[in-house]
Amino acid sequence: MSDTGLHLGSERLKAPPVFGYFERLVDPYTPYQETDTPPTRLWPFLWDYTRPLHRVFAVTAGLSTLVAFIEVGLIAYLGRLVDLLDKDPNIFWADHGLELLAMAAFFLTLRPLIQTAHTALLNQTINPNLTALSRWRAHRQIMRQSVGWFENDFAGRIANRVMQTPQAVASVMNQFFEAVAFAAAYLVGAFALLADADLRLVLPLLAWFIPYLLLLRWVIKRIKPASQASSDARSVVTGRIVDGYTNIHSVKMFAHADAELGYAKEAIEGSRTTLMREMRLYTIMDLALVFLNGVLVVGVVGWALSLWLGGLATVGVVAAAAALVLRLNGMSGWIMWAVSQLFQELGVVAEGLETIGQPVTLTDTRGAAPLAVTAGRIEIDGLSHHYGKAKGGLDRVSLVIPAGQKVGLVGASGAGKSTLIKLLLRFYDAEGGVIRIDGQDISGVTQNSLRHAIGMVQQDSALLHRSVRENILYGAPQASDTAMIAAARQAEAHDFILTLEDTEGRHGYDARVGERGVKLSGGQRQRIALARVILKDAPILLLDEATSALDSEVEAAIQDTLVTMMDGKTVIAIAHRLSTIARMDRIVVMDDGRIVEDGTHDELLALNGRYARFWARQSCGFLGEDA
């Protein structure tokens, strides 16, 4: 497992010693064995993700049980105290003073210590660390997915599930220890207490407990699917809203704010409807519980009174029984709610597993070695890829690009140019054929080493919502500021960067660029992207409409930069502006997923074929559509 980011686990906030002890019991960033096929079933998933906390869980469960038994024991002692008060006050202290002092000491020392340890394990150890651990591992798992996987879902929905699923995992464990384990132990203690007073007192408790269990079973059976439906509906709402925010420029440009509101409203209404169905279950649960609790109080207290009237029970037994059932009356709703919440959160986890539990299908082969680029020769042999469809993409493409050669890739939209680039970067695994770099099949080398060896500037170079410095250093994180500024100068970006200022007053290279770089113009974004690739200095360079966002003046200014960037590198450049690739060593023309022409600019013009028609039709240097 990579150590990237694991240092975060050691950066602890300073805390008082008691808090610090419990907070340090678990490291949420502890190394673990990653898997391409994570658990897809609920309980194996929970067992796997919570593994570092299993010992903590065992101790917490023991303390939950102990706390419950202490609660029942205190009620039992209340009954004993009532009976003791029936004695002569003059001899009461002499006979029981030591006992009362011992109970007072227990109340003031041991009980608070046990309760504090139990609460601290829940609040300081389990809740924050389990949430962080689950979120960290879920995010790592998602980040290992392929580009194609992300293209098939909403970024907002993915992020929503990564955020809410770990929170639900922590809530499940919290509800279990705070409610389920405590309640189970409390009920066992209650049965024991009543049976010890008089075995017949257990009968009305059973008359309450059995229907209570049936009601709980009825709620649990329905709450999990209802909760999962509500969680799904919330994810749809998040996905639609984030989609609108992400594409706010298009929404405003086409004046479709009302349509977007309607689109979101449809999802919000769906979420409201599923939530109402879920809430009906809680209402039914509460009504049934009120009746059952009436049976509990009347049955146990009434029976205890009848025993006392018959001389079969002391006043203390009546007092203890009354205190116990009144406590159960208050607890029963809380237990029912907590258990239903537990299963509600399990529904959220199950919904999150639909994303987090998906297998990673584009993986490094076992024993994959790093790519060793010795020259930069690219061989494409019989390459086919149709995205799982009958047509589209590439169809049996073969191409050899000698080391250091600059190749222009030309073709109308849908010809297969971008698919070729994506396969070269191994964003997808080819359905047929092979790509080799310096004789190495790229499917047999590590993905990271392959992409480290390739620099790419895209038509829409979205930037990270970070500072200009961080965006440029993304190409080479260890580079010095001097190297970074040199790259920015080479990309004709340094001067405008110095004029930048964000809303928080940061200037120049420290200014943030906004989500996807929206605070910058298209040309500014593109020049920062160019600086990033210049700094990376990879031996293979891919240019996908690299200058399309630049005006003619800026493009002319950086032409020399592009020539310098390409010097000594193997280059594949896609462009509709043919003037930018006419000086390439070679031009490859694609159509319908195949290579139809291959040669220099002059050779292809002399051939008087597709490229020549493109050249003749272009207006202001842009590629027109083929007839």
pLDDT tens per residue, range 473-497: 999 999 999 999 999 998 889 999 9
pLDDT at residue 400, rounded to an integer: 95
Task: For residue range 574-591, list pLDDT tens digits in order.
Answer: 877 787 788 889 999 999
**Sign of the alpha-carbon torsion through 460, 464, 470, 476:** negative
* Separation between Cα atoms, residue 573 and residue 418, nearest integer Å: 11
Task: For residue range 539-556, list pLDDT tens digits in order.
Answer: 999 988 776 656 666 666
- Alpha helix locations (H) across 552-609? 552-566, 601-607
**Consecutive H or E run containing 541:** strand 540-544
pLDDT at residue 163, rounded to an integer: 87
Residue 73 corresponds to which amino acid?
G
Token pair 């599930």 in the structure block, residue:
161
pLDDT at residue 621, rounded to an integer: 47
pLDDT reading at 13 higher than 80: no
pLDDT at residue 388, rounded to an integer: 80
Which of 11-25, 144-158, 304-318, 498-512 is modeled with the greatest confidence? Answer: 498-512
DSSP state string for 358-377: S---S-PPTTPBPP--SS--
Q: What value does the mean pLDDT take over residues 108-129?
A: 91
Q: What average pLDDT is seen over the chain? A: 84
pLDDT reading at 620 higher than 80: no
CB atoms within 10 A of CB 257: 12
Residue 295 — very low, low, confident or very high, per pLDDT cuts 50/70/90? confident
pLDDT at residue 246, rounded to an integer: 75
* Separation between Cα atoms, residue 585 and residue 582, nearest integer Å: 9
Q: What value does the mean pLDDT take over residues 317-326?
A: 82
Q: What value does the mean pLDDT take over residues 313-334?
A: 80
Lowest mean pLDDT segment, chosen from 96-110, 132-146, 334-348: 334-348
* Separation between Cα atoms, residue 349 and residue 180, nearest integer Å: 18
Closest to 169 in 3D by CA, of 115, 199, 141, 127: 127
CA dihedral 18, 20, 25, 31 (to 10 degrees): 180
Q: For the chain, percent helix, then strand, then coil, each to nearest 5?
A: 65, 10, 25
Residue 407 corresponds to which amino acid?
V
229 three-state secondary structure? helix
Task: For residue range 253-291, list pLDDT tens digits in order.
Answer: 778 888 888 888 999 998 898 888 888 888 888 888 888
Q: What value does the mean pLDDT take over residues 63-88?
A: 84
Q: Which residues are 378's β-sheet partners?
A: 401, 437
Lowest mean pLDDT segment, chosen from 244-253, 289-298, 437-446: 244-253
pLDDT at residue 551, rounded to an integer: 65
Domains of the chain: 30-356 (1.20.1560.10)
pLDDT reading at 4 higher than 50: no
Lowest mean pLDDT segment, chosen from 261-275, 315-329, 432-446: 315-329
Q: What value does the mean pLDDT take over residues 545-570?
A: 73
pLDDT at residue 554, rounded to an integer: 64
pLDDT at residue 559, rounded to an integer: 72
Token pair 């003031």 in the structure block, residue:
108
In whole angstroms, how far apart are CA 508 and each of 27, 499, 513?
A: 38, 6, 10
Q: Work out the percent of the chain whose per-residue pLDDT is above 70.
A: 94
Q: What value does the mean pLDDT take over residues 609-613?
A: 90
Q: What value does the mean pLDDT take over residues 119-123?
A: 91
- Residues near 541 by beta carbon (within 8 Å), at least 6 away in sequence: 454, 455, 456, 533, 565, 566, 569, 570, 571, 572
pLDDT at residue 626, rounded to an integer: 42
Task: For residue range 202-221, list pLDDT tens digits in order.
Answer: 888 888 888 888 888 888 78
pLDDT reading at 11 higher than 50: no
Task: For residue range 164-210, list pLDDT tens digits in order.
Answer: 888 888 888 888 887 778 888 888 888 888 888 778 788 888 888 88
* Separation between Cα atoms, residue 337 and residue 283, nearest integer Å: 11
Lowest mean pLDDT segment, chosen from 315-319, 431-435, 555-559, 587-591: 555-559
Contact 417, 411 (CB under 8 A): yes
Contact 290, 345 (CB under 8 A): no
Q: How many residues belong to the chain?
A: 627
pLDDT at residue 182, rounded to an integer: 82
pLDDT at residue 548, rounded to an integer: 64
Residue 39 corresponds to which amino acid?
P
Residue 435 — very low, low, confident or very high, per pLDDT cuts 50/70/90? very high
First-to-final CA distance of the chain: 53
What number of helices (H) and strands (E) belong to the chain? 22, 10
Residue 2 — very low, low, confident or very high, per pLDDT cuts 50/70/90? very low
pLDDT reading at 125 higher than 90: yes
DSSP state string for 424-453: HTTSS--SEEEEEETTEEGGGB-HHHHHHT
Q: What is the DSSP letter of 126?
A: I
Report yes or no on whether pTM surpasses 0.95: no
pLDDT reading at 558 higher than 70: no
Pairing of strands 570-574, 406-410: parallel
508 three-state secondary structure? helix
Task: For residue range 524-536, list pLDDT tens digits in order.
Answer: 888 898 899 999 9
Q: How far is CA 601 from the centre of its chain?
A: 49
- Residues near 126 by beta carbon (within 8 Å), at least 6 away in sequence: 53, 56, 57, 60, 170, 173, 174, 177
Sheet bearing 594-599, strands edge to edge: 454-457, 540-544, 570-574, 406-410, 586-591, 594-599
